[in-house]
Amino acid sequence: MKKSNLNSVGKSEIRKDAFSKVTGRSLFINDVKFPAMLYAATVRAPKPHIKILSIDDSAAKKLNGVQGIYYAKDVPGDNRVPLVFQDYPFLAEGTAKFQGQAVGLVAAEDPETAKLAAAMVKIKYRELPAVFDPLEAMKKNSPKIYGKDNIFKKFTVKKGDVKKAGADIEIEDVFSVNYQVHAYLETQGAIAVPRDDGGMDVYGSMQCPFYVQDAVAKVLGQTYNKVTIIQQTTGGAFGGKEDVPSIVCGHAAMLARLTGRPVKLIYGREEDFRSMSKRHPGWARIKYGAKKNGKIVSCKVKYVLDGGAFATLSPIVLWRGTVHASGPYEIDNVLIETYAAATNKVPCGAYRGFGQPQIAFANESLLDMLAEKLNMNPARIREINAIKKGGTTATNQKITESIGLRKTLALAKKSAGWSRKWKKPSSKKGVKKYGIGMASSIYGVGLGAGGQHLAKSGSFVQIEPDGSVLIAVGNTEMG
């Protein structure tokens, strides 16, 4: 069958949700309302690391319209968010480990009253020693946030022997990147509606409804068949609505169970910025050993991610960064040591790229520096080292299919006019300089590299009596 005869393959399709979105008919979570619905606000920790001595909410409870203020002791089920290590409490118990951590929840007749009541709750506390730098956190005498060493997870990957690589030239440097915020147009939000049969329906802006079902079932102490999750039209995610909605929806569901009424919880932009996950800040020290012809023979990496106060998805994000730490290049001798460290900062989580962009920035920067040191064109040094079919990665995975990196480099050079525009770095004085750069990146398909057992997909096809077809797939639309 010719491609031109197909109805969909190779043709541009109009999005099924396009009309409803451009006409304003799509309902985002803050557009949804239920009868007798209450509104929620969160009481948050005022300092990065505190021992909670007492809480005075007497004045807040007297506000007209406040229906209840609840804490960890009121959680109907398990107070631990079911993410990897399950170390993150839905509500702080005794101590709070980052400024903005949820300590209590307010339910009121309107959002203004809920926010006012949350602000009126007085937390008496004792400040505890805090640590904000992941490298400092891993030192022996640092304040302990997690375990004995403040390390959520560490990995080591070894290929060959970097000490016996026989390099003609070596270059080493340190690189760091800070937080990056998802900045989705729609902030975090959820509505929980208690059912007559004792179950709970939860509507939310999310990426992973099954994560949310797990979390809501846990916090309520209910079985999965009593929890229904409905993904509302979602206004952007980029990873920021993968892990965090488990907390937001869990809070709304807890309040709905305790009050017996529907509860809406919507974060304002500032609250979202301050308390929700981010791209992990990263620190990397990389050392390349190369021959005079530009062939890299060794790569030694120490890579540290700032996980924040709780692990959330940091161990998985770290592993993704680990297996990509030497870039899209074939290097015979590699030593990679990576760490996800705990600090008294907002927990970090999923973000597009999942731990790879931070280390890719460091790799490509050092590669440019190596090219300059060898008096070589940056494009040429990438061509020399680009992994190809039959080559092996740092984790000794043999590339059995075409990887296309050299072809991509050639096309990029041609389309950008590289040979005409690129010039050697100049010492020309002045604040304005013209330049053109090149970088390459590699990213595995699915979870890969140890996560293959989790990377599953499926679909359900139902043929109706009239011959029409209904297809269900496990995918979410994120805006």
| Cβ-contact 438, 412 below 8 angstroms | yes
Q: Where are the domains of the chain?
A: 135-180+279-421
Distance CA 372, CA 84 (A): 43
Instruction: Give burial (CB, 10 Å; 0-12/13-18/19+) of 408.
Output: middle
Per-residue pLDDT, 444 = 78
Going by C-beta distance under 8 Å and a sequence separation of 6 or more, which residues neighbour residue 273?
A: 181
Which band of pLDDT confidence, cut at 50, 70 and 90, is reported for residue 284? very high
Per-residue pLDDT, 2 = 58
CATH of 135-180+279-421, one of 3.40.50.620, 3.30.1180.20, 3.20.20.140, 3.30.365.10: 3.30.365.10
Closest by CA position to 70, among listed 57, 81, 84, 51: 57
Dump pLDDT digits (tens) for 399-423: 888 788 999 999 999 999 999 999 8
Going by C-beta distance under 8 Å and a sequence separation of 6 or more, which residues neighbour residue 222?
A: 77, 198, 199, 200, 216
Closest by CA position to 60, among listed 124, 114, 102: 114
pLDDT at 375 over 70: yes
- For residue 412, the tally of other CB atoms under 10 A from its CB is 15
| Cβ-contact 169, 292 below 8 angstroms | yes
Q: Residue ranges of the alpha helices (H) in 62-202? A: 111-120, 134-137
Q: Which of 291-314 are b and which e, b meaning 16 or more Cβ less than 10 Å from the residue's Cβ? A: eeebbbbbbbbbbbbbbbbbbbbb
| Beta partners for residue 126, in sequence order | 51
pLDDT at 38 over 80: yes
pLDDT at 3 over 80: no
- Give pTM, 2 decimals: 0.92
Q: Residue ranges of the alpha helices (H) in 374-477? A: 378-385, 405-416, 418-421
Distance CA 210, CA 51 (A): 34
Identify the weakest region by mean pLDDT among 192-196, 435-439, 450-454.
Answer: 450-454
Going by C-beta distance under 8 Å and a sequence separation of 6 or more, which residues neighbour residue 463?
A: 469, 470
Distance CA 290, CA 171 (A): 9
Dump pLDDT digits (tens) for 112-130: 999 999 999 999 999 999 9
